[in-house]
């Protein structure tokens, strides 16, 4: 691609990314809404500021990834994303991962005492969701290993997006388990829980979208499209708010 075309594409995507960032940038009422949704009944100003910092760490990356990944694919001549899982959900997952990486830095200012209760993955995400995600990835591996016609999209695109989403999602879960405490106990627990469950739910959704189409691609019965439904149900049940202190199963 000629250099002037590349520069024009970069400028166009940069304007779109900036506009999206302005739309997504959270206001204080959004921080309050997130905390209330995840079990902090009446957030005060300090708690709201922690939630806003949490949201900004993620939303800063969303426009860059949503427009940067397609731009890079176009410039390098890579296969284009063919579904919502690759085009929208994956950048959100990667943005969450980068946000959690940034959150691993020690928090400046007063530090609260860490809870003596040992925290593990099963305290943040339900076991059944882990099993569902594994089954979807296993099915995708089996189906995508079968030959497809030349007119269909390369199997590596869907397979790659599902496994990149899996790595990003589980990266968020593991980082949420080990990140330094931030804010008081209720806020820290609520945001930690939200990070892990939303990430795993999105990874399940991406895997479900990738699994749903291969049956038609290889000439099998359309019942394979039904795999999308348990994935979407699983996504909904995982990302629904769980009150702080409620047992995750």
Specify if 65 maps to a domain. yes
Q: Which helix (H) or strand (E) holds 216?
A: helix 214-217
Among candidate residues 24, 79, 227, the one with its CA nearest the CA of residue 142: 227
Give the closest residue to 138 by CA, choosing from 174, 163, 172: 163
- Tell whether 110 is covered by a domain: no
* Residue 9 forms part of a structural domain: yes
Residue 38: inside a domain, yes or no? yes
- Residue 210: which pLDDT band, with cuts at 50, 70 and 90? confident
- Residue 53 tokens read as 């910092």
Q: For the whole model, what pTM was predicted?
A: 0.80
Is residue 190 a contact partner of residue 244, using CB atoms and an 8 Å limit? yes
Percentage of the chain lying above the pLDDT 90 cut: 30
Which one, of 162, 183, 174, lies nearest residue 125 by Cα?
A: 174
Q: Which residues contact 182 (CB under 8 A, 6 or more apart)?
A: 50, 54, 103, 107, 188, 191
Q: Is residue 245 assigned to a domain?
A: no
Q: Are 191 and 54 in contact (CB under 8 A)?
A: yes
- Residue 216 inside a domain? The answer is yes
Domain count, the chain: 1
In a domain, 140, yes or no: yes
Q: Give yes or no for residue 1 having a pLDDT over 90.
A: no
**pLDDT above 80 for 79:** no
Per-residue pLDDT band at 2 (split at 50, 70, 90): low
Residue 79: count other Cβ atoms within 10 Å of its Cβ: 13
pLDDT digits (tens, 9 = 90+) for 222-247: 555 677 788 889 999 999 876 655 54
Specify if 183 maps to a domain.
yes
User: Is residue 231 a contact partner of residue 83, using CB atoms and an 8 Å limit?
Assistant: no
6: tokens are 């590349």
Instruction: Give the residue from 229, 189, 223 showing the smallest Cα distance to 208.
Output: 229
**Domain encompassing residue 126:** 3-104+116-239
């Amino acid at each position: 691609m000629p250099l002037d075309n590349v520069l024009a594409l970069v400028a166009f995507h940069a304007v779109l990314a900036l506009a999206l960032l302005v739309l997504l940038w959270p206001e204080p009422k959004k921080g309050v809404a997130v905390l209330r949704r995840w079990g902090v009944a009446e957030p005060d100003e300090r708690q709201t500021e922690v939630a806003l910092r949490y949201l900004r760490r993620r939303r800063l990356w969303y426009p860059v990834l949503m427009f940067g990944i397609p731009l890079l694919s176009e410039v390098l001549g890579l296969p284009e994303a063919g579904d919502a899982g690759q085009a929208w959900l994956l950048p959100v997952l990667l943005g969450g991962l980068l946000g959690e990486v940034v959150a691993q830095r020690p928090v400046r200012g007063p530090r609260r005492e860490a809870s003596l209760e040992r925290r593990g993955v099963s305290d943040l995400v339900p076991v059944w969701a882990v099993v569902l995600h594994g089954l979807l990835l296993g099915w995708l591996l089996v189906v995508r290993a079968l030959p497809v016609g030349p007119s269909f999209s390369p199997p590596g695109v869907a397979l790659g997006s599902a496994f990149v989403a899996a790595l990003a999602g589980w990266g968020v879960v593991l980082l949420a388990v080990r990140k330094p405490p931030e804010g008081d106990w209720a806020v820290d627990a609520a945001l930690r829980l939200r990070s892990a469950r939303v990430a795993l739910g999105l990874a399940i959704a991406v895997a479900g979208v990738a699994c749903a189409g291969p049956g038609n691609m290889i000439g099998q019965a359309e019942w394979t499209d039904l795999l999308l439904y348990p994935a979407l149900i699983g996504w909904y049940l995982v990302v629904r708010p769980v009150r702080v202190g409620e047992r995750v199963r």
